[in-house]
Amino acid sequence: MSDATMDIAGPTLPKIDQQKLAPSPGYWKSVGQRLLRDPVTIAVTCIILTILFITIGAPLVTSADPFQGSVLMRLKPIGTPGHGLGTDETGRDLWTRLCYGGRLSLLAGVLPVTFALAIGGSLGVLAGYAGGLVGTLIMRVMDVFYAFPSILLAIAICGMLGNGLTNSILALSIVFIPPLVRVSETVTTQARQLDFVEAARASGTTTFQVIRHHVLANVLGPILVYATSLISVSIILSAGLSFLGLGVTPPTPEWGLMLNSLRQAIYVQPYVAALPGLMIFITSMSFNLMSDGFRSAMDVRLNK
């Protein structure tokens, strides 16, 4: 995985239209209509839903035990009777391992972004709306985290806390908080300068009500779009941590860990060894393309 892959760089954020009031139900309806006319977004959404169904409903699509192996069935090729996608280095059915392994890979991709969205989004909105000393203090603290590449920061945190899924999720959550704070602060600063927000503040409306009814209506969309793009990065980073032995521990099935355990078999069964990596690529790319579709549908400048 290259350094460019590890940089947390989201899609171009849609700027808030200075002449536009808070998004109306008609606006969200038009966003939905544009999404339905986007074949790429529909296709990748179907792929994500299929992967979710296969992983969550793993017992329904496979009856094999993901932990049961056989020395006599080690590294069988794709198409082996009873093992359609072959077997791994200990003779375990690879299709079953991929199904069950997707649960932890998706969990490690979605949970860190969710936690970072709740914490980073709140801090960013606070910094953008309050400004002044509060905003400066929050943003300068976040700038400290930008001194470290995301993957190195995640490795350092996991190295201190120890391996395991919980520590991996915690490390990635910390890694994703700074970029979400920065995005939230930027769009909130734009929204704070809108005329109807200034009017609400001048009328004596409480700060909480202004943020809830006026600011969040304009900033929540761009923040969610950016957060969606981070899911693909989170899947890759969590797989990388497991590959390095800092994430999920054996024999638990997880795509990054499976890729690590099968790397020695690449010269014997290259297609079998590449399957976990292929699943990581397809899933992360699908989330990335879905995020791009959401951004395009919500950007009024691209849909005039």
Element (H, E) at 292: helix 270-298
Widest Cα–Cα separation across the chain: 78
Report whether 242 contacts 248 (CB < 8 A).
yes
Following DSSP, what letter does each residue of 55-108 receive, concatenated? HHTHHHH--S-TT---GGGTTPPTTBTTBTT-B-TTS-BHHHHHHHHHHHHHHH
- My answer on whether omega of the bond before 11 falls inside 30° of 0, hence cis, is no
Instruction: Per-residue pLDDT tens, the chain, 304 aa: give them.
Output: 444 444 554 445 545 444 444 455 566 788 788 888 889 999 999 999 999 999 999 999 998 999 998 888 999 999 999 899 999 999 999 999 999 999 999 999 999 999 999 999 999 999 998 888 999 999 999 988 888 888 889 999 998 988 889 999 999 999 999 999 999 999 998 888 777 777 877 777 777 777 777 788 788 888 988 999 999 999 999 999 999 889 888 888 999 999 999 988 888 899 999 999 999 999 999 999 999 988 888 775 555 5
- From residue 18, give the alpha-carbon distance in Å to each of 117, 191, 271: 25, 8, 53
Residue 25: count other Cβ atoms within 10 Å of its Cβ.
Answer: 7
Record the tokens describing residue 223, joined without a space: 């923040």
Residue 27 — left, alpha, or beta (φ > 0 → left; ψ -120 to 50 → alpha)? alpha
pLDDT at 221: 84
Record the tokens describing residue 149, joined without a space: 């590449």
Domain edges within the chain: 74-302
Cα separation of 92 and 101, whole Å? Answer: 13
pLDDT at 301: 54
Cα separation of 266 and 273, whole Å? Answer: 5
CATH number belonging to domain 74-302: 1.10.3720.10
Report whether 94 contacts 275 (CB < 8 A).
yes
- In sign, the C-alpha dihedral spanning 187, 189, 193, 198 is positive
Contacts of 206 (CB under 8 A, 6+ apart): none
Please give, one letter per residue, the 3-state secondary structure of 190-236: HHHCCHHHHHHHHCCCCHHHHHHHHHHHHHHHHHHHHHHHHHHHHHH
What pTM did the predictor assign?
A: 0.85
